[in-house]
Chains A and B, each alone.
Chain A
Amino acid sequence: MKIEGYQSKEHYDEMFTSEGDVRPHYQEFFQNLKKTPYKKMNHLQFSANQTQRAMGMTFNVYHDNQGLEKILHLDIVPRIIPNEEWKKLESGLKQRTYALNLFLQDIYNDQKILKDGVVPSDLILGSKDFLKPCIGLTPPKGIWCHITGTDLIKNKDGEYYILEDNLRCPSGVSYMLESREIIKRAFPNLFNKGGVMPVSDYPAKLLKILQFLSNKSKPVVGVLTPGIYNSAYYEHSYLALQMGVELVNGVDLIVEDNKVFMQTTHGLQQIDVLYRRIDDVFMDPLTFRPDSMLGVPGIFNAYKAGNIALANAPGTGVADDKAVYAYVPKIIKYYLDEDPILNNVPTYLCREEKDRQYVLDHIEELVVKETNAAGGYGMLIGPKATKEEHAKFKELIKSNPNNYIAQPTLSLSTVPTLCEEGGLEGRHVDLRPYILYGKEIEVIPGALTRVALRKGSLVVNSSQGGGSKDTWVLYN
C-alpha cells in the first residue's frame, strides 16, 4: 500500500524520520508493507479483530453501560524496537527495579533513607499505601516487586522517559502474549526474517519466579483473582492456564494454623505461593479493609508466619505513588550510587509550596495527575483542557495539594496505525515492558504498546479509547 502524505514532522515517529525516510529497523517491515495492497491490510486487520473476538480477549469496563466485556483493539502495524535501544531500556529498568526493591525493604525496616532525609518521611509514612502491618517484614528471598510493568514514553527528542512504575499488579501482559500470536498469523514471513525476539516463554518464566519463593521442592502455586467482574479477569485466567496452576478466588481459600489451604473436591490442600491480583487492602479483611469480600481472612498472618509467599508483596504500592516517583532518581543514587540510566519526567510536587505556585501559574502547559489514581482518570492535560477545567483543577490542587503532581506536557511518539477512515496515520503510543524479579531480574523482550486510537489523543488507557500494538524487539 502507499504511504504518501504520512505526517512525521510534529512528533517523533517510530517508523519514519522527520524527513520521511524509513528508519533502518523498520526497513524489513516497510518493504513488506509496500508490497501489501491496501485491501489486504484491511483484511488482515479484520481477521485480527475476528480472532480476538473468538478468543474472548476481553476486558471489563466499569464506567460504560454498553455492555460489560470489551475487546482491546489490536492494530496490526507493530511497534518495532531496535536491539541497541532495547539494551539501554533493559539495563535502565533492571537498575530501577533493583533500587525500588531496596527502597521498599528499607522503608518497611530500617528507614535509613528517611532518616538521611533523602525522601521526606511524611511522604512515605503518611501515604495511605504505606502498610503499617508490613513494618518489620522481609518477604521471602527479600523480593517485594516480583512483577513490574513500567510505563514509558518516547519524547520528541527520541529519548525514553519513565512515566510510572507499576509495582502493584500491572496488567496487560496477556495482551502482549496473545497479540503476538495474532500478529504472527498476519505477517507469517516477517518474524524469522526480521529477527523478532520471542515472548512466548513469559508464563514459564513467571512460574519459575513464583516457585522460587518457596523452599519446597514442588510448591503449589496459584493465581488469586478478585473474580469474573474484575477488568483483567481474562488475563488472570489466561496466566493460570498458561502456567498450569489453579486460579483461585478468595472463597476457595481457607486459613488454618496460619497455613493457607484450597478447598478441593478431595478436602483441603495447602497452597504455597500466590500470584495475587487483588489489591493490598482487599487481601485480608482481618488485617486491612474489614468490608472486603474478595480476600482471605487470616492470610496476612499466614504470610507473616512465612507459610505463604505473595507476589507482589503487600506494601509495594507506596513506591509507585506519583509523588514518590519524583524521588526515584535520588533513590537510585542513594542505594546504588549510580546515575539513573533512564530519564524521569521532571515532576512538580504540589505538596511543595514552590512547585505548587509554579503549577498554578502554568497549569495550561502542564499535565496534572492525581498521585493515587490510575487508568488515566483524575487527570488534566493542560494544553487540551478548557479554561473552566483549568480553574477546577486549580481549586482541587489548592484544597488538597498532597494529592497532585504536575509534569510538562510530553510529546508521545507516534507509530503508523490503520485508521477507520482508511490509510495509515500516526497515532501516539506508550510502552509497558514487563520485568520479572526472581533469582535475577529479567526484562521480557517485548512489551504492551498502547496506542491512542483517536486522532491527536494522548490518552492510551484501554478504558478510554486506547488500543494496542504488538511490540517487536529485534535480535539485532
Chain B
Amino acid sequence: MLSRVANHIYWLGRYLERAENYARFIDVNFNLMQDLPVDLKEQWQPLVAATGDWDLFISKNQKFEKNEVLYFLAFDLENPNSMLSAISRARENARIIRENLSKETWEKTNQLYMMMQEGADKKIWKKVDPRPFFEKVKNQILLIYGIADSSVARVEGWYFRQLGQFLERADKTSRILDVKYHILLPSGQDVGTPLDFLHWMALLKSVTGFNTYRRVYGNIDPSNVVEFLVLNKYFPRSIYYCLKEAESCLHHISGNRDGGFINPAEKAAGELRSHLEFAEVKEIIDYGLHEYLDNLQIKMNKLSDLIDSTYFRLRDNFISQNQDQ
C-alpha cells in the first residue's frame, strides 16, 4: 500500500474516533446536567478540560456556558479538534483515498460531513436539547464502522485504520479519566453522595462502560474505575485493550508472526502494552494517577511518531534524483 494512502487511512480512523467520542461526551454531559441539584451551576468546564483544548477555549470565551462550549466542541472550525474539524478532515482524508474505500464507506462519510454542516447551519448549539443531533451523528459514525466491519478486506488498509482508531481511543479514555478523576478525587475516597455517584456514572457512560463496569465490579469505587478503564483485559475502551489491539494491528501490517518486534513502532507498542499488562492498579494510584496518565500519553504520542517514521514518511523524490545523477 502507498505510504501516503496508509497515512490518510490511519488519520481517517483517528478523526472518526475523535468525533464519535466527542459526540458521546456531549451527550453524557448533557444528561448529567439534568440530574444535578438546582443550586449547582451547569458544569461544562470539565468537558473542555477533557479535550485538552482548554487554553484555546479560554482565549475565545469568558464563560463556560452551554452554548459556547457546545459550539466550541462541535462546530468551531477554529478548534482543530472540534467534531466539525475532525469530520471535515476525516472526509478530506477519505476523499483523497477514495479509491481505497468501498463506495458505501465513502458515501456515508460524505453524508456525515453534510450532516455536520447542516447542524452548523441550523445552529444546533443553541437548541434547548441538541441530543437528537449528536445521537444521529454518533449513529452515522457507527454505521460507517459497521459497513467497514462487514465489507472491508482484512488487509493492510483495514489495520491502518484500526491502528488509528485504537490509538485515538486510548488517548481519549486516558484524558477523560484524568480530568474526571481529578475533579472527583477530593471526595472520592468516599463515594457516598448521590452527586458523586452521578459523576462517576457519567464518566463510565462517557466511554460506554457503565453497564460493563457494574457487571464486573458492582459498586462504584475509584480504584476499581481506574483499573477498569486502564487495565481491563476485555473492555474495548480500556487503555490496555486499545494498546493490545494497536500492537496486533502493527504485527498484521508488517507480517510479524513471531511476536517481539521487527521495527521501532512495534517495539514501542509492545513495551507499552506489556507494561500495562503486568501493572496493578495500586501501583498506578501510588505513582499518582495524573502523572501515570500523563506519562502514558507521552508514550502514546511517541508511538504515533514512530508509526509515522516507519510507514508514512516519504523520501523527497527531487533530492533522490539529484543524488542519482
Contacts and interface: CB of A to CB of B under 8 A. Distances in A.
Given A252-B3, A263-B314, A265-B6, A237 B99 contact: yes
Given A54-B110, A54-B111, A297-B321, A264 B98 contact: no
Interface residues of A, number: 33
A225 to B, nearest CB: 10
A312 B95 CA distance: 25
A257 B321 CA distance: 9
A255 B314 contact: no
A199 interface: no
Interface residues of B, number: 30
B4 interface: yes
A246 B2 contact: yes
Interface in A260-291: 262-266, 285-286
A467 interface: no
Contacts of B100: 241
Nearest to A250: B317
Question: Which applies to chain B's interface (DSSP): helix, strand, loop or mixed?
Answer: helix
B269 to A, nearest CB: 16
A255 B110 contact: no
B318 interface: yes
A253 B99 contact: no
Contacts of A55: 107, 110
B1 A265 contact: yes
A237 to B, nearest CB: 4
A63 B106 CA distance: 27
Interface string A202-243: 000000000000000000000100001000010001101100
A298 B324 contact: yes
A53 B114 contact: yes
A133 interface: no
Contact of B107 (A56, A233, A254, A263): A56
B4 A251 contact: yes
Contacts of B110: 54-56
A263 B96 contact: no
A249 B2 CA distance: 10
A77 interface: no
Given A228-B96, A241-B99, A265-B253, A254 B320 contact: yes
Contact of A251 (B95, B103, B317): B317
A247 B98 CA distance: 9
Given A56-B110, A228-B95, A255-B324, A265 B317 contact: no
A256 B320 contact: yes
Contacts of A247: 97, 99
B98 A263 contact: no
Interface in B233-253: 253
B143 to A, nearest CB: 14
Contact of B318 (A237, A241, A252, A297): A297
A248 interface: yes
Given A54-B110, A252-B314, A264 B321 contact: no
Interface in B92-123: 92, 95-100, 103, 106-107, 110-111, 114
Interface in B1-59: 1-6
A74 interface: no
Contact of B321 (A241, A248, A252, A298): A298
B48 to A, nearest CB: 30
Most chain B CB within a 10 A radius of its CB, from A55, A56, A298: A56
A256 B100 CA distance: 27
Interface of A: 53-56, 223, 228, 233, 237-238, 240-241, 246-257, 262-266, 285-286, 296-298
Given A237-B97, A257-B324, A263-B4, 10 more contacts: A54-B107, A56-B110, A238-B99, A241-B98, A246-B2, A251-B314, A256-B320, A265-B156, A297-B321, A297-B322
Closest 5 CB pairs of A and B: A240-B99, A241-B99, A297-B321, A298-B321, A237-B98
